[in-house]
């Protein structure tokens, strides 16, 4: 990679936005970048990915990455031998970064880049996918997309509706949800902010459309953060690791009616 190309990528990464400096770099880029070039806030992307690929075989799968940010899960899906990834992201700078990187890595036949917000209200989806990443997107309903929602109750109804609609185009869903509507700590989606409240909400709301196959919970083991399957010992909230790392990872399989 030449200096000019690298600088263009860095400039796109440094564009400030609500969700900038969010994901770590895809592994294909790590060798070209120094720490000073890009300092993400750290959303335990590698740890989340490890839990996913331990539980799902992405080889030869068609993938949809909704709200793909700078493309970590898109490019790592290709590294895991996915057949094709469709990346969708409403932020122009993030989408431009993913597009440039796709061209640099000569992956244009394996990755489709769409700079738009996903239309969850669409009644029919012609394209179907084996696996969909929907990570930390839906709590931004009424903010980043579908503006004008009146209150948290309506937002929660939309979250369930969009989750259930996703079963019409997706076989397996990898899902995370924030605890606060629009990312605002003054707008909690759940009264006590517990993992149990969130899990019960998702289970009850999606039971006719999705089977929850497994749930990943972040824990500290020997000083390292890892995601383990839900159990009676890790379901309690751990405020020491922060709100983001308390968000469960749901791996869901659609119910064939």
Asked if pLDDT for residue 65 goes beyond 60, the answer is yes
Residue among 200, 190, 196, 180 nearest 244 (CA): 180
pLDDT tens per residue, range 86-139? 999 998 988 998 999 999 899 999 999 999 999 988 877 889 999 999 999 999
Asked if pLDDT for residue 18 goes beyond 60, the answer is no
Q: Is 182 exposed, middle or buried (0-12, 13-18, 19+ CB in 10 A)?
A: middle
Let me know: does 220 contact 241? Beta carbons within 8 Å.
Answer: yes
DSSP 144: T
| Whole-number pLDDT of residue 39 | 67
Domains of the chain: 43-67+118-254 (3.40.50)
pLDDT tens per residue, range 67-78? 999 899 999 999
In the three-class reduction of DSSP (H, G, I as helix; E, B as strand; rest coil), residue 211 is classed as strand
21-25, 161-165, 185-189, 199-203: least confident range:
21-25
Confidence bin at 176 (pLDDT 50/70/90): very high
| Whole-number pLDDT of residue 22 | 67
| Whole-number pLDDT of residue 145 | 78
| Whole-number pLDDT of residue 113 | 97
Let me know: does 49 contact 133? Beta carbons within 8 Å.
Answer: no
N- to C-terminal Cα distance for the chain?
49
Provide CB contacts within 8 A for 227, sequence distance 6+.
Answer: 47, 48, 50, 51, 216, 217, 218, 219, 249
Residue among 96, 68, 85 nearest 11 (CA): 96
Distance CA 128, CA 62 (A): 8
What element of type H or E holds 74?
helix 72-79
Mean pLDDT of the chain: 90
Distance CA 67, CA 34 (A): 26
- Determine the average pLDDT of the residues in 155-183: 95
| Whole-number pLDDT of residue 16 | 55
């Amino acid at each position: 990679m030449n200096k000019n190309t690298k600088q263009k990528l860095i400039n796109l990464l440094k564009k400030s936005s609500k969700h900038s400096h969010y994901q770590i770099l895809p592994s294909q880029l790590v060798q070209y970048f120094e720490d000073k070039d890009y300092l993400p806030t750290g959303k335990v992307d590698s740890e989340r990915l490890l839990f996913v690929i331990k539980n799902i075989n992405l080889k030869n799968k068609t993938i949809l990455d909704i709200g793909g940010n700078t493309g970590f899960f898109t490019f790592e899906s290709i590294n895991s031998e996915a057949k094709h990834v469709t990346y969708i992201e409403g932020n122009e700078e993030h989408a431009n970064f993913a597009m440039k990187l796709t061209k640099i890595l000569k992956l244009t036949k394996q990755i489709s880049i769409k700079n738009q917000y996903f239309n969850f209200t669409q009644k029919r989806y012609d394209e179907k996918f084996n696996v969909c990443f929907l990570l930390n997107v839906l709590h931004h309903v009424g903010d980043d997309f579908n503006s004008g929602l009146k209150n948290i109750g309506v937002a929660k109804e939309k979250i369930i509706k969009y989750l259930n609609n996703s079963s019409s185009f997706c076989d397996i869903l990898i899902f995370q949800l924030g605890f606060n509507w629009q990312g605002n700590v003054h707008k909690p989606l759940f009264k006590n902010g517990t993992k149990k409240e969130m899990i019960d909400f998702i289970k009850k709301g999606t039971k006719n459309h999705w089977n929850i196959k497994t749930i990943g919970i972040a824990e500290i083991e020997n000083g390292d953060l890892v995601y383990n399957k839900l159990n009676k010992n890790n379901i309690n909230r751990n405020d020491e690791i922060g709100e983001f790392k308390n968000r469960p990872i749901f791996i869901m399989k659609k119910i064939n009616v």
